[in-house]
Structure 1
Amino acid sequence: MELRHLKYFLTLARELNFTKAAEKLCISQPPLSRQIKELEEEIGARLFDRNNKTVTLTDAGKYFEKEAGKLIRNLEAATLKTRKISENISGKYRIAYISSTFSVTISKLIRHLTQLYPYLNIKLYEVPSHKQIAALEQGKIDLGILRAPLISTKITSKRWFQDSYSLVFNNQNIQLNSTREIGKLKDEIFVFFNKDYAPDYHNSLLEICAKYGFTPNIVHESNNINSIIQLVRNGLGVSIVPSCLSKGQRYPEIDYLDLQETGLFTDVLLATPKDSYSEVTGSAVSYLLD
């Protein structure tokens, strides 16, 4: 049995007319009749009842149509997936990240992948966590770097690292020596992520402030962590940020105060669409987890 036998059979099963099926297949009617006869002889069952006026599927033919259709669809899916794997090595590879994690490490990741796959065209997108989840589910990005929680049956994820939170403030305007003094910030201006942009992160910051006995006076909002740091640096407010930023965002005007005592942490995840794990993704995840 060859693939053409299945395609000829399925076309005739749809058309139930030898002339129309032959036209669809761009062949003449006699070769189509021979191919169908060969298929029936190989299977050992009559698939069609035909006379001078009508062509109908037998019960065996109806069953075979369903199973042959599955085989063709599975083959098409495997072909598409194979093409995607190939394109990931010599085509486009899309990485989404949240602004609070774009670090030297990610730059090194790009260099690492470029060395392994010199023909790979890497696309980087800054995307909030909740939008990354939707994009991953739809297969629009190949690797997502985002913050938990991640609730989806269509995505596979691994924890990259766990991060605590830190208060960041301008040391020219505010003097803080320990977390015991944080309560006096209740009248200070706060700079936070927009709630619609990063709802879970925003709520975590509110929860931290509540643990220190006050509700923050949020005046300025930004959807980019670098903008938040610069606003704090210029004395326009204080903020609470992931502690990992203290390693890469160092300025003489600002200090960080770790808030691990709150018991609140945030997981940064490496996420991929389920069942679409490629060689490039394997290399990227292994590099980041190493």
Structure 2
Amino acid sequence: MELRHLRYFQTVAQELNVTRAASLLHMAQPPLSRQIRQFEEEIGVELFDRVGRGLRLTEAGRFLLEQSLQLTQRLEEAIEGTRRIGRNEKRWFGIGFVPSVLYGFLPELIRELRGADSQVEVGLSEMITVQQVAALKAGRIDLGFGRIALNDPAITQQVVMAEPLVAALPATQPVPRDGSLTAETLARHPFVLYPARPRPSYADHVLSLFRAQGLQLRVVQEANELQTALGLVAAGLGITLVPASVQRLHRDDVRYCPIDAPGFVSPVIMSQRAGDTSPFLARAVAWVLQQGQPDALA
């Protein structure tokens, strides 16, 4: 599949008329029709219903149009950013993050960095800690914020803060009279674990907290995203543990309860390339370290 195939498909899908689409694409109608048929054969599903002389998107076609428009818009933004950087109009500074840190200091850091130097383009990439390490080594990002410690000589990690964990429960489920839950009580509930993959991840950290208490969770469902896990909790499939800052995400169908158990915290860990002396990176790191009292990880 080539990008031009997506462009052909998007134009036909938006016009629902091959003749008009061909005119917009500055090509003849028969080659465009062939390209669309080949595209459908390559994907393995029909994207259009042929209705008389017109076209109608199938359910699969509607899905592909929505998703592909998001992809091409992101690609266009990346190309434009690349041009600005190539013309020395902008420098690139990439930040990788796990979703849960968005409810803490990260938004304020982004605002700080975007206002610090108009010549620096700050980009964001959602990824778990393992992916952040690979992206740092490849130069795709310059700073990462995750939840687990990894031993890699090419990467320096620091704990920015140790954030308490809270239990996320369905809103219909009553909380204990004392307002908190013990590890033993939590382990008796069906559990929604996230992220499901790739591993190791925050999920392994949560499992290790219960193992340290001699407990084993009854995992009934795994999810890849924090929001998905909370949605499953709201649906009554089970409970899950989230960092306390996630409580800022107000949901009427989920309630949060403190945990009465030693060590039930989740660190926010900042990762960077070992030996990176970028002044802009140093500025970002200094700002983050002012938010807490970090400990260096070996």
| TM-score between the two structures when normalised by the length of structure 1 | 0.61
Give how far 1:129 is off.
0.8
> Which residue does the alignment assign to 1:166?
166
Write the distance in 2 (CA, Å) between the matches of 1:270 and 1:216. Answer: 28
> Which residue does the alignment assign to 2:126?
126
Give how far 1:174 is off.
4.0
Structure 2 residue 100 is the aligned partner of structure 1 residue 100:
yes
Give how far 1:135 is off.
2.0
> Which residue does the alignment assign to 2:147?
147
Give how far 1:261 is off.
2.3
Give how far 1:205 is off.
2.0
The 3 A distance-change label for structure 1 pair 182 and 105 is closer
Structure 2 residue 281 is the aligned partner of structure 1 residue 281:
yes
> Which residue does the alignment assign to 2:53?
none
Q: Deviations over 1:1-20 (max 9, x none)?
A: xxxxxxxxxxxxxxxxxxxx
Write the distance in 2 (CA, Å) between the matches of 1:108 and 1:89. Answer: 25
Give how far 1:203 is off.
2.7
Give how far 1:269 is off.
1.6
Residue identity in the other structure for 2:273:
P
The 3 A distance-change label for structure 1 pair 102 and 174 is same
CA contact (8 A) 2:166 2:258 kept: yes
Write the distance in 2 (CA, Å) between the matches of 1:275 and 1:250. Answer: 40
Write the distance in 2 (CA, Å) between the matches of 1:160 and 1:212. Answer: 25
> Which residue does the alignment assign to 2:42?
none
Gaps of 5+ in 2: 1-85, 291-298
Alignment of 1:28-39 (within 5 A): none
Write the distance in 2 (CA, Å) between the matches of 1:184 and 1:148. Answer: 25
Structure 2 residue 253 is the aligned partner of structure 1 residue 253:
yes
> Which residue does the alignment assign to 1:242?
243
Write the distance in 2 (CA, Å) between the matches of 1:195 and 1:88. Answer: 41
Give how far 1:101 is off.
0.8
Write the distance in 2 (CA, Å) between the matches of 1:254 and 1:274. Answer: 41
CA contact (8 A) 1:98 1:129 kept: yes
Write the distance in 2 (CA, Å) between the matches of 1:175 and 1:254. Answer: 12
Structure 2 residue 268 is the aligned partner of structure 1 residue 268:
yes
Alignment of 1:185-224 (within 5 A): 186=187, 188-210=189-211, 214-224=215-225
Which of these two proteins has the greater Rg computed from alpha carbons? 1
The 3 A distance-change label for structure 1 pair 231 and 115 is same
Alignment of 1:6-45 (within 5 A): none
Gaps of 5+ in 1: 1-85
CA contact (8 A) 2:183 2:261 kept: no
Write the distance in 2 (CA, Å) between the matches of 1:139 and 1:257. Answer: 40
Residue identity in the other structure for 1:156:
T
CA contact (8 A) 1:190 1:219 kept: yes
Residue identity in the other structure for 2:267:
D
Give how far 1:154 is off.
1.0
Give how far 1:111 is off.
1.8
CA contact (8 A) 1:155 1:271 kept: yes
Give how far 1:181 is off.
6.1
Residue identity in the other structure for 1:170:
P
Is the helix fraction higher in 1 or 2? Answer: 1
CA contact (8 A) 2:166 2:257 kept: yes
Write the distance in 2 (CA, Å) between the matches of 1:156 and 1:207. Answer: 23
Write the distance in 2 (CA, Å) between the matches of 1:117 and 1:243. Answer: 32
Write the distance in 2 (CA, Å) between the matches of 1:116 and 1:199. Answer: 35
> Which residue does the alignment assign to 2:234?
233
Give how far 1:134 is off.
2.0
Write the distance in 1 (CA, Å) between the matches of 2:256 and 2:250. Answer: 9
CA contact (8 A) 1:128 1:146 kept: yes
Residue identity in the other structure for 1:167:
A
SS of alignment partner, residue 119 of structure 2:
coil
Identical amino acids, percent of aligned pairs: 23
Residue identity in the other structure for 1:289:
L
| TM-score between the two structures when normalised by the length of structure 2 | 0.59
CA contact (8 A) 1:88 1:280 kept: no
> Which residue does the alignment assign to 2:66?
none
Write the distance in 1 (CA, Å) between the matches of 2:257 and 2:196. Answer: 23
Write the distance in 2 (CA, Å) between the matches of 1:227 and 1:287. Answer: 32
